[in-house]
Amino acid sequence: MRNAELRKKIYQVIHGTDTKAGRRFDVALLWMILLSTLIVCLESVPAYRAASKHIFFVLEWMFTIAFTLEYILRVYSNPRPLRYIFSFYGIIDFLSILPTFLAIFVPSIRYIMTIRVLRLLRVFRILKLTSYVENGQIIKKALIASFHKITVFIMAVFSLVLIVGTLMYVVEGESNGFTSIPQSIYWAIVTITTVGYGDLTPHTPLGQVISSIVMLMGYAIIAVPTGIVTVELSRMKNPGEELPAPLFCGNCSETVHKTDNFCRNCGHPLLP
């Protein structure tokens, strides 16, 4: 009986945000997450690491032990521990303490502890920022609804960069740095996304013409996924509102606008 009461009290403090103790615990936890993430970032600076190596080591283990105890208490107090362990927050909580222990064997892996910053997502639940949560759900649903369209778009872009990369390999050749088709595909991706590192550039006139066309195409391509997600976001915000049906010319079947008096393709007068 005492064990059940103890688990219930721990659960109310650790998992609940409605009680004063629960809110204080969560706010203190958020500050600990921020400080531990800041320490990991500062430790990566060579000057700070050389001057305060032992201090960083002690603080790192202090935070890790605290987060480990918190994780154990969350599992212990939860009525359905497996559900918490395999939930989004449960996985993030586990991953936030794992790097310190793995760093015993691979020291450089401890910098992955910056993943702890993901635990700050609890701030929306703790501070009752329901509007942010609702907006986050709208974005999530819009991205899921856009998944198939964006997948088709990415496949089309991949086909394009494969063709362009192969073409540039043939046009430029190995003497100009395009040593293989994969290397040329890398150039095509960098160019079509308008990043332009400049480590690989065309030297022949034809290659430069192709490069210019690919750059111009890149601006149009970047706008496509943005438009897809924007349409889905609009639908999620106004689920009952349907997009207007397209209008067509009765003579040539060309798409026309509602405000047009004549078809732009054949000049046929449109009915009001």
What CA–CA distance (Å, rounded) separates 181 from 164?
Answer: 10
Assess contact for 165 and 184: CB atoms under 8 A.
yes
Backbone φ and ψ for 115, nearest 5 degrees, come out as -60, -20
Q: Where are the alpha helices (DSSP H) in the chain?
A: 2-14, 20-43, 46-51, 53-77, 81-85, 88-102, 122-126, 130-172, 181-192, 205-237
pLDDT of residue 271: 66
pLDDT at 243 over 60: no
- Taking only the tens place, the pLDDT of each residue in 205-240 is 999 999 999 999 888 888 888 888 888 888 776 665
Q: What is the mean pLDDT of residues 3-32?
A: 81
- Taking only the tens place, the pLDDT of each residue in 131-158 is 566 677 778 888 888 888 888 889 999 9
How would you label 59-74 residue by residue, b for 16+ Cβ within 10 Å and e otherwise?
A: bbeebbeebbebbebb
Backbone φ and ψ for 118, nearest 5 degrees, come out as -65, -25
- Mean pLDDT computed over every residue of the chain: 82
- Residue partners of 244: CB distance under 8 A and separation at least 6: 258
Assess contact for 146 and 229: CB atoms under 8 A.
yes
Is residue 124 very low, low, confident or very high in pLDDT (cuts 50, 70, 90)?
A: low
Q: Is the pTM here over 0.95, yes or no? A: no
